[in-house]
Every structure is written in structure tokens, then in C-alpha cells.
């Protein structure tokens, strides 16, 4: 990453290190039943909502923010 730390977000780091989803999104059940499929659909929608919220949160925090917080925690007490 050849960017200043003020431009690198935690989401950038996650996406550089991990490929795919923040949460496991494939759920297999042994039982085949339309109710199970409906359950999976609802659950996956909620998991996607959670992942979207987490990504938005990670995108708001830069390495500069983290560095500033560390300096404040360690040196400004």
C-alpha cells in the first residue's frame, strides 16, 4: 500500500489481507425443507446487513486515526 496512512482505512487492510466476506455466509443443513431454506434466506440477509455495517465502520477509520489514538492512550495520560 503506497498511500499515506491518512488515506488507508481498516477496510483497505481487511480487503488486502482477506478475500471474501467478513462473516461465514455459506450455511448447509442436513435436512432439506422449504422452511430451512426460508430460514437460511432470512439469516443470510441479516448477516449481509451486519457485514455491510461492519464494512462501513471499517471504512471510516484510517491508520492515522489508530496512530492518533495510540499516541493519546500511551503518551497523553
**Confidence band for 1, pLDDT divided at 50, 70 and 90:** low
Tally of CB atoms within 10 A around 26: 7
What pLDDT was estimated at residue 23?
Answer: 75
Domain with 49 in it: 5-75
Share of the chain above pLDDT 70, in %: 96
Q: Tell me the longest C-alpha to C-alpha distance in the chain.
A: 59
Residue 32: per-residue pLDDT: 79
**How many domains does one find in the chain?**
1
Model pTM score: 0.73
Contact (CB, 8 A) for 30 and 41: no
Amino acid at each position: 500500500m503506497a498511500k499515506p496512512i491518512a488515506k488507508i482505512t481498516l477496510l483497505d487492510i481487511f480487503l488486502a489481507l482477506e478475500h471474501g466476506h467478513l462473516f461465514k455466509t455459506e450455511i448447509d443443513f442436513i435436512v432439506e425443507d422449504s422452511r430451512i431454506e426460508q430460514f437460511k434466506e432470512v439469516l443470510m440477509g441479516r448477516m449481509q446487513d451486519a457485514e455491510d455495517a461492519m464494512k462501513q465502520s471499517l471504512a471510516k477509520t484510517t491508520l492515522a486515526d489508530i496512530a492518533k489514538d495510540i499516541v493519546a492512550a500511551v503518551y497523553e495520560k
